[in-house]
Structure 1
Amino acid sequence: MDQRAAFDQVVKPEILNRIALRHRFLSRMTLGFAAGAMTVLTFPPLSILLLVPVAYSALFVGLRDLSFGRAFLVGWAFGLGQFGFGIWWIAESFYVEAERFGTMAIPAVAGLSAGLAIFPAIAAALFAEIARRGAMGSLLACLLFATSWTVAEWLRGHVLTGFPWNLAGYALVDYAALRQTAAWVGSYGLSFLTVFVAVLPGAAAMASGRQRLTISLMALAGIATMWAVGTLRLQSDAQQPPGVDLRIVQGNIPQEEKWAPENREATFARYLELSTRPGDFDVLLWPETAFPGFLDEDTEARARIAAALPDGSVLLTGVPDRVPSDDGMRYFNTVQAFGDTGKILTGYAKHHLVPFGEYVPFRGWLPIERLTAGLGDFTPGPGPRTLALPGVPLVAVAICYEIIFPGHVVDDLFRPDWIFNATNDAWFGTSIGPEQHLASARMRAVEEGLPIVRAANTGISAIIDANGDLVARLGNGETGVIDAALPSAHPSTLYARFGDWALLALIFTTWAVGLAAGLVGTHRCNKRTRTEKKSCW
């Protein structure tokens, strides 16, 4: 009996305590996964702004007093929910040729989501470890969380080929005044401010008394400041439009039909028919690989295009290109410009290629085929380039995937007057993917202070002004044209001049102001919490 009593008094409570701790940790992981999935509802096309503080505050609170490893797992669960639900549409590209790639769809998207989830995991673990090692006030904890999150997002946009998709700041894309902050600090800076303000309600919920009121007021002040600054930018005097008329053609050719040899003439004829509808234009714009062949080698096709172009107008179209070299034939994904005589004027080669779509990384090691049809991997171009065309304002070109990279779409030494984004989202059907892609383009317009003209094969084609507003659009699955004037550009933005250095300045300034104002501190920590290296947040 004595041994049983000893067991009941010592061992049994310890076992129950461990079970309770394990259950509590699993609950936090489940909460993290649900919060991550919730972030998808904050991005276009839904843009439910009220869910932003709910999702990020849930993660913030769920990391309280966790070890490095457990915080990593909770952050990973958050990322798995965020990307698992946020990029599921990538699976649709595998079903374009279902007999070859269909079985890879779910494993590929699941693997990609699990890999991308490592970045929120890094943010969570970094935050939890620093917070656990030093006593800190709630507001300082919020700043630390936002900084850790921004570092992880920046790494996600740059490590390997980078994939800066659905950055936290994109929750503000559909809110005109709030998104304007990106003109100064870029999308990563907007993410920093968004996450910082979003976790303040979580910090307020854990605080008490006067501190709770202070934190709540700071959250309201942050939103009000971003709104006021953005409103002032929206009300600034617009420059005179350049007086250039555009026509965007959306041919709406399904991806599985586009490259079939028997459909080549019908595809080309559809683009010519749409292009020659009544109306005047100076610039005709076709989407990525609109012409299913090597247009610069096809004299007859260029003659038909010349006949469709009004005098003095130009065509910008996406086309594949090939160039012989000592290593054999090299293939490029390009946008080429043609004059009203059918002569090629200039061109741009895509430099940021899609892994496994336009080339296979580590081809010597990976026995994997790329998803797009073609004779070989594409070769990357030299980088952002500004094109000078007769009678047309200077134009930069970003082909499809390239538009998602903040600070990497414009030649910094030769600033253009507008950006042409030729894309083909037909791979992703009528999913939310094209809406999310359009959101990235709208953020590039704000960052650079430049209008963006988007021509998409099946949608979404659009004209975006320098504030990120949609001037005109053709929805997913529609066939038609957009006729509209080219919007004016803003003067070069702070972000366009300094890039992500502006982000560093924002983070350092925010921390300096927070510390100097005495809004954060350790006055609520006692000697015991300092000794145990616990945080006060």
Structure 2
Amino acid sequence: MLNTLRAWSRHTSVRLTTAFAAGASTVLSFAPYSLWPIYPLALAFALWQGRTLSARASGYYWLSFGFGSFALGISWVHVSMARFGGLPLLASLGLMALLAAYLSLYPALAGYLLQKLTPQRNGVLWRNLALFPALWTLGEWARGWVLTGFPWLWGGYSQTQGPLKSLASIIGVLGLSFLLAMLAGAMALCLSRRYRSLAILLPVLALAVFIGPRVSDIERSGERLKLVLVQGNIPQSMKWQPDALWPTLLKYMDLTRPQLDADIIIWPEAAVPAPEAMVADFLENANRVANLNDSAIITGIISQAEGNFYNSLIVLGNQDEKHQDSADYLEGHANRFNKHHLLPIGEFVPFESLLRPIAPLFNLPMSSFGRGDYRQPNLKALGYKVAPSICFEIAFPEQVRDNLDPDTDLLLTVSNDAWFGESNGPLQHMEIAQMRAIELGRPLARATNNGVTALVDEHGNISARLPQFEAGVLTAEVPLVTGQTWFARWGQAPVLWLCGLLFSLSLLGLRRSPKARQRRALGTKPL
């Protein structure tokens, strides 16, 4: 008996370790590595290896898979806590591990339900090609909104450089996650020597990739917008120091002055690291300079209204067409955007009366922001319409979509990823921004403090970028487009309805299974 328990324990440990390794390998599918085939291969292997497990064992198996994926994939989170949050390295790693463990609950639930709803081996096609993709996609969607959401490392982002990326303009990044999970299901069947599903699915996907761009009505209008993105490269340790305020402002103006012939000049998140009222003279001067040169400046700043501070973007200079009378700078003017989706701990502290006294981490600069409206008007700059998002917000496809107008000219996201040092975090962030450009069929500008500052075309390709960790100016003429993608019209709803339908059919099938009917006949409850 004791030997049997030892063998069982050893077997379980090996299985969980293998699941962890498979999950960890998925990190290579995302930036900066972009080895996209690894993602469906890892899912396929895990799906095949866990095919005979009980529902409970399957939950633990996929928990280990998820922990491997997130522990490595979001390891950059601890950098901000250790380097700028005042926590010892072990504490920051421990908190990062807790976050990874929480995120792992979603694949664990998917794995548990997968085995619970398909206990019979004769339903393997439905299990692999319908239920698993539905559960995996619903899990990713839930992870993107529960507790304000953390939609990082969604499987679909691995296709930003992959062959399926054009389909995001139709089905979005969650739709790509569904297709990858279905592909993984077909590959898992191959490991059981059942090749027909993959032989059918691959040509269908190839045909969809061929047809997808041809059903889009996105086309270039022939108009070009001259943009300038300024990367200040202000050290995070100095950014909020009072003595560094004016050197920071002067640096941005010095980098901008030679580029005033541009249409729109963009400074990154909190490029002006002070409340608007404190720097009114500087803003008035910048407004005047932009007006005189028939240009506009969009800058990140801290604004204040009704007793709340906001992480904001404002427009200085010419807000309407060129050569029209331009208004003087007016503090609190309406042509602004206040960040809605705030970052927990960094921009607001839940249960702050309890947490703030614990550690410097909970007292980071500007960690008490107010929340802007979910839907806000596009910014107007030189007559162009710009749909903005600040930092973390670009990771929420429905929010960005809901703030897009049919005549929006440009997607804009600004950020300060200096919090995460030389880690993969900023590169993953850039990858996420590229996916928004594909989904919505609009060029995108991303201005950051220290990188990645880049311009992205309507197909998600980076057309120009600055090196990280250097002060610089990126100048380019951006082709504008007309039209609307399918995703811009319909969003995530069709994919989520499909996943909900497949899940519901599985529940109905389980209820009608022979074992369920036998339990009901005997008057017993299912486990």
Residue 245 of structure 2 corresponds to residue 264 of structure 1: yes
Q: Which residue of 1 aligns with 2:177?
A: 191
Q: After alignment, is 102-111 or 407-416 more displaced?
A: 407-416
Q: Which residue of 2 aligns with 1:442?
A: 434
Query: Would the alpha carbon gap of residues 379 and 104 (structure 1) be closer, same or farther in structure 2, given more than 3 Å must change?
Result: farther
Q: State the secondary structure of the residue aligned to 1:334.
A: strand
Query: What letter is aligned with 2:26?
Result: T
Q: State the secondary structure of the residue aligned to 1:244.
A: strand
The CA deviation at 1:260 is 1.4
Q: After alignment, is 24-33 or 82-91 more displaced?
A: 24-33
Matched ranges for 1:73-152 at <5 A? 73-97=60-84, 99=86, 104-132=91-119, 135-138=122-125, 140-152=127-139
- For 2:10 and 2:122, the matched residues in 1 are separated by 27
Q: Which residue of 2 aligns with 1:42?
A: 29
Query: Would the alpha carbon gap of residues 155 and 505 (structure 1) be closer, same or farther in structure 2, given more than 3 Å must change?
Result: closer
Gap runs ≥5 in structure 1: 1-11, 516-520, 522-526, 533-537
Matched ranges for 1:369-384 at <5 A? 373-374=364-365, 377-384=368-375
Q: Which residue of 2 aligns with 1:339?
A: 317
**Is the Cα–Cα contact under 8 Å of residues 294 and 321 in structure 1 kept in the other structure?**
yes
**Is the Cα–Cα contact under 8 Å of residues 169 and 440 in structure 2 kept in the other structure?**
yes
Q: State the secondary structure of the residue aligned to 2:442.
A: coil
The CA deviation at 1:495 is 1.6
Matched ranges for 1:315-394 at <5 A? 315-323=297-305, 325=306, 329-339=307-317, 343-344=329-330, 345=333, 346-367=335-356, 368=358, 373-374=364-365, 377-389=368-380, 391-394=382-385
- For 1:372 and 1:312, the matched residues in 2 are separated by 41
Residue 282 of structure 2 corresponds to residue 301 of structure 1: yes
Residue 482 of structure 2 corresponds to residue 496 of structure 1: no
The CA deviation at 1:505 is 5.2
The CA deviation at 1:307 is 5.2
Query: What letter is aligned with 2:228?
Result: R
The partner residue of 1:225 within 207, 228, 244 is 207
Query: Would the alpha carbon gap of residues 213 and 531 (structure 1) be closer, same or farther in structure 2, given more than 3 Å must change?
Result: farther
Q: State the secondary structure of the residue aligned to 1:361.
A: coil
The CA deviation at 1:426 is 0.7
Q: Which residue of 1 aligns with 2:198?
A: 216
Residue 41 of structure 2 corresponds to residue 54 of structure 1: yes
Q: Which residue of 2 aligns with 1:31?
A: 18
User: 1:209-259 CA distances to partner (integer Å, 9 max, x unpaired)?
Assistant: xxx23133134224423432345468x772214332111100111111111
- For 2:492 and 2:8, the matched residues in 1 are separated by 41
- For 2:88 and 2:107, the matched residues in 1 are separated by 29
Q: State the secondary structure of the residue aligned to 1:88.
A: coil
The CA deviation at 1:338 is 1.1
- For 1:510 and 1:487, the matched residues in 2 are separated by 41
Q: Which residue of 1 aligns with 2:419?
A: 427
User: 1:387-412 CA distances to partner (integer Å, 9 max, x unpaired)?
Assistant: 25253321111000000011111446
Q: After alignment, is 23-32 or 418-427 more displaced?
A: 23-32
Query: What letter is aligned with 1:147?
Result: A
The CA deviation at 1:113 is 0.6
Query: Would the alpha carbon gap of residues 459 and 384 (structure 1) be closer, same or farther in structure 2, given more than 3 Å must change?
Result: farther
**Is the Cα–Cα contact under 8 Å of residues 302 and 342 in structure 1 kept in the other structure?**
no
- For 2:479 and 2:446, the matched residues in 1 are separated by 13
Query: What letter is aligned with 2:15?
Result: R
Query: Would the alpha carbon gap of residues 390 and 25 (structure 1) be closer, same or farther in structure 2, given more than 3 Å must change?
Result: closer
Q: State the secondary structure of the residue aligned to 1:248.
A: strand
Q: After alignment, is 464-473 or 271-280 more displaced?
A: 271-280
Query: What letter is aligned with 1:486?
Result: V
Q: After alignment, is 33-42 or 309-318 more displaced?
A: 309-318
The partner residue of 1:69 within 43, 56, 79 is 56
Q: After alignment, is 136-145 or 161-170 more displaced?
A: 136-145
The CA deviation at 1:360 is 0.6
**Is the Cα–Cα contact under 8 Å of residues 16 and 61 in structure 2 kept in the other structure?**
yes
Gap runs ≥5 in structure 2: 319-326, 520-527
Matched ranges for 1:447-526 at <5 A? 447-504=439-496, 506-507=498-499
The CA deviation at 1:376 is 5.9
User: 1:366-396 CA distances to partner (integer Å, 9 max, x unpaired)?
Assistant: 3455556446611110113232525332111
Q: After alignment, is 470-479 or 35-44 more displaced?
A: 470-479
Query: Would the alpha carbon gap of residues 510 and 470 (structure 1) be closer, same or farther in structure 2, given more than 3 Å must change?
Result: farther
Q: Which residue of 2 aligns with 1:3?
A: none
**Is the Cα–Cα contact under 8 Å of residues 133 and 182 in structure 2 kept in the other structure?**
yes
- For 1:266 and 1:205, the matched residues in 2 are separated by 62
- For 2:354 and 2:236, the matched residues in 1 are separated by 29
- For 1:413 and 1:303, the matched residues in 2 are separated by 29
Query: Would the alpha carbon gap of residues 511 and 215 (structure 1) be closer, same or farther in structure 2, given more than 3 Å must change?
Result: farther
Q: After alignment, is 295-304 or 262-271 more displaced?
A: 295-304
Query: Would the alpha carbon gap of residues 488 and 312 (structure 1) be closer, same or farther in structure 2, given more than 3 Å must change?
Result: same
Q: State the secondary structure of the residue aligned to 1:35.
A: helix
Query: Would the alpha carbon gap of residues 433 and 132 (structure 1) be closer, same or farther in structure 2, given more than 3 Å must change?
Result: same
User: Aligned pair count?
Assistant: 497
**Is the Cα–Cα contact under 8 Å of residues 244 and 392 in structure 1 kept in the other structure?**
no
- For 1:354 and 1:96, the matched residues in 2 are separated by 18
The CA deviation at 1:280 is 2.1
The CA deviation at 1:149 is 0.6
- For 1:456 and 1:304, the matched residues in 2 are separated by 23
The CA deviation at 1:100 is 5.5
**Is the Cα–Cα contact under 8 Å of residues 137 and 499 in structure 2 kept in the other structure?**
no
**Is the Cα–Cα contact under 8 Å of residues 310 and 372 in structure 2 kept in the other structure?**
yes
How well do the aligned residues superpose, as a CA RMSD in angstroms? 2.9
Q: State the secondary structure of the residue aligned to 1:274.
A: helix
**Is the Cα–Cα contact under 8 Å of residues 189 and 506 in structure 1 kept in the other structure?**
no
Query: Would the alpha carbon gap of residues 375 and 32 (structure 1) be closer, same or farther in structure 2, given more than 3 Å must change?
Result: closer
Q: After alignment, is 411-420 or 275-284 more displaced?
A: 411-420
- Is the radius of gyration larger for structure 1 or structure 2? 1
Q: State the secondary structure of the residue aligned to 1:332.
A: strand
**Is the Cα–Cα contact under 8 Å of residues 359 and 377 in structure 1 kept in the other structure?**
yes
**Is the Cα–Cα contact under 8 Å of residues 94 and 371 in structure 1 kept in the other structure?**
no
Q: Which residue of 1 aligns with 2:189?
A: 203
User: 1:331-369 CA distances to partner (integer Å, 9 max, x unpaired)?
Assistant: 111001111566155111000000000011122443455
Query: Would the alpha carbon gap of residues 130 and 510 (structure 1) be closer, same or farther in structure 2, given more than 3 Å must change?
Result: closer
User: TM-score normalized by structure 1?
Assistant: 0.85
User: 1:4-54 CA distances to partner (integer Å, 9 max, x unpaired)?
Assistant: xxxxxxxx5xx5444433333222211110011000001111111231232
Q: State the secondary structure of the residue aligned to 2:20.
A: helix
The CA deviation at 1:140 is 4.1
**Is the Cα–Cα contact under 8 Å of residues 49 and 171 in structure 1 kept in the other structure?**
yes
User: TM-score normalized by structure 2?
Assistant: 0.87
Q: Which residue of 2 aligns with 1:180?
A: 166
